[in-house]
């Protein structure tokens, strides 16, 4: 488990510099329901679908469980990030932070830890998708060096 201090304004009367965020790996199946509920209430940008079912997350965990991270403060879930690596490229999914902890470094810690884990696997490029209307997420990623790929369209196809 990794532990970091987040910095920012204040949170429930405490200075953020005093708040310790613990980043740990998702534990399947124990964490599943709490994380699923967290995603469904995360607000704009996190879209829960078929690939977030218990069976699909089980498949994900069989492939690279070290890329599914949770952020906790005092044992309470405050953020998630789900990464993938196909041996060539990385993907970031479901970076979500509870509304009361946004703008205080939690998302940045989760993203940085995932990026570092992908680097250690030999990943040289990572992708993510952001809905066009999610201005907060767009600013968040661009501040952290992510660039828009203007010459590409995103496509999807259901296979089942």
Contacts for 102 with CB less than 8 Å, ≥ 6 apart: 136
Instruction: Read off the pLDDT of each residue in 46-64 and give the average, rounded to a whole number.
Output: 96
Confidence of residue 3 (pLDDT cuts 50, 70, 90): low
Contacts for 132 with CB less than 8 Å, ≥ 6 apart: none
Query: What are the sequence ranges of the domains in the chain?
Result: 2-143
From the candidate CATH numbers 3.40.630.30, 3.40.50.2000, 3.30.565.10, 3.30.2010.10, the one assigned to the domain spanning 2-143: 3.40.630.30
Per-residue pLDDT at 136 = 93
Other Cβ atoms closer than 10 A to 128: 16
- Among residues 71, 77, 73, the alpha carbon closest in space to that of 14 is found at 73
Can you tell me which residue has the tokens 């599914």?
68
44, β-bridge pairs: none
Q: What does the alpha-carbon distance between residue 31 and residue 144 come to, in Å, rounded to a whole number?
A: 28
């Amino acid at each position: 488990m990794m532990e970091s201090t987040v910095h920012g304004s204040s949170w429930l009367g405490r200075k953020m510099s005093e708040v310790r965020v613990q980043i740990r790996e998702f534990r399947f199946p124990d964490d599943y329901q709490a994380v699923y509920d967290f995603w469904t209430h995360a607000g704009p940008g996190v879209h829960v679908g078929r690939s977030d079912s218990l069976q699909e997350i089980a498949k994900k965990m069989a492939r690279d469980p070290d890329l599914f991270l949770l952020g906790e403060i005092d044992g309470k879930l405050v953020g998630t990030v789900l990464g993938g690596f196909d041996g060539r490229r990385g993907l970031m999914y479901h970076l979500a932070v509870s509304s009361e902890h946004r703008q205080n470094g939690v998302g940045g810690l989760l993203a940085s830890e995932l990026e570092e884990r992908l680097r250690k696997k030999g990943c040289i490029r990572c992708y993510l998708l952001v809905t066009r209307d999610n201005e907060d997420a767009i600013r968040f990623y661009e501040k952290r060096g992510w660039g828009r790929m203007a010459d590409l369209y995103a496509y999807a196809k259901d296979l089942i």
